[in-house]
Amino acid sequence: MNTVISPTPATAAPNRWRQLVADWSSDRQAFQVSWGKAMMWIFLLSDTFIFSCFLTGYMTVRISSTIPWPNPSLVFGLRIGGAEVPLLLIAIMTFILISSSGTMAMAVNFAYRRERAKAAILMFVTAGFGACFVSMQMFEWTKLILQEGVRPWGNPMGAPQFGSTFFMITGFHGLHVTAGVIYLITVAVRLLRGRYDEGTRAGGNYQIVEIAGLYWHFVDLVWVFIFALFYLW
């Protein structure tokens, strides 16, 4: 006669903790979504709240300001051939960032087709677009600070809140783009080295490329709102 020995309360608790750690570390799925993708969505949701607060605060300050707000077409214009071209730099930056979403989407497609070299190259291209965007943003900041005299506490062109809201919102977004460039390069290098060829799914675990793509598409989407509310309004 076989006897079944049930675990004592002293040993049951450590076993439950080991099982919980094993579930998280092995990238188990919950509701048909991997932990990695679920955690990225949670992070993006929290980031959405932060950007929403920043943009809502900016709109509130701008509407309630008694001093005229600087004209974005004049503030962010570039002089080319003796003519002032409004929002030229911003238009180029927007085009670059939106184009990077296309290359990132192609990288995800090639990753799931197990063409890791093409996927990595497209991720490097996407990171290059992001680096160009940040470089142009640095040029924009330098021009405003050195040539236009814009400061976080005031500026000679109108409402003093313009400088604080501009540097806070665009700086926070630029920090996200910089982090995304580093993130994409890291994933692309690991992809080339075959770090994702062996995974929990058949054909390799390339979902990390899609997770990186979720972050990058979010950064691009946020810029669309910044562009519409800050530069066009």
Higher pLDDT, 59 or 148: 59
Q: pLDDT band at residue 203, thresholds of 50, 70 and 90?
A: very low
> Which residues form the domain of 92?
35-231
Q: pLDDT band at residue 37, thresholds of 50, 70 and 90?
A: confident
**Enclosing H/E stretch for 198:** none
Threshold 0.85, pTM exceeds: no
Find out whether 208 and 187 touch, Cβ atoms under 8 Å.
yes
Question: Measured between alpha carbons, how far is 50 from 45 in angstroms, rounded to an integer?
Answer: 9
pLDDT of residue 151: 86
| Residue at 12 is within a domain | no
Whichever domain contains 140, its CATH number is: 1.20.120.80
**Helix and strand numbers, DSSP H then E, in the chain:** 7, 4
| Residue at 4 is within a domain | no
- Per-chain mean pLDDT for the chain: 85
Token pair, residue 25, equals 């570390």
Total number of domains constituting the chain: 1
| Residue at 5 is within a domain | no
Q: pLDDT band at residue 121, thresholds of 50, 70 and 90?
A: very high
Burial of 47 (0-12, 13-18, 19+ CB in 10 A): middle
| Residue at 16 is within a domain | no
Q: Tokens 């980031």 map to which residue?
A: 47
Check pLDDT > 60 for residue 200: no
| Residue at 161 is within a domain | yes
Higher pLDDT, 191 or 10: 191
| Residue at 111 is within a domain | yes
E-state strands within the chain = 29-30, 33-34, 78-80, 83-85
Find out whether 73 and 117 touch, Cβ atoms under 8 Å.
no
| Residue at 186 is within a domain | yes
Token pair, residue 89, equals 């730099």
| Residue at 28 is within a domain | no
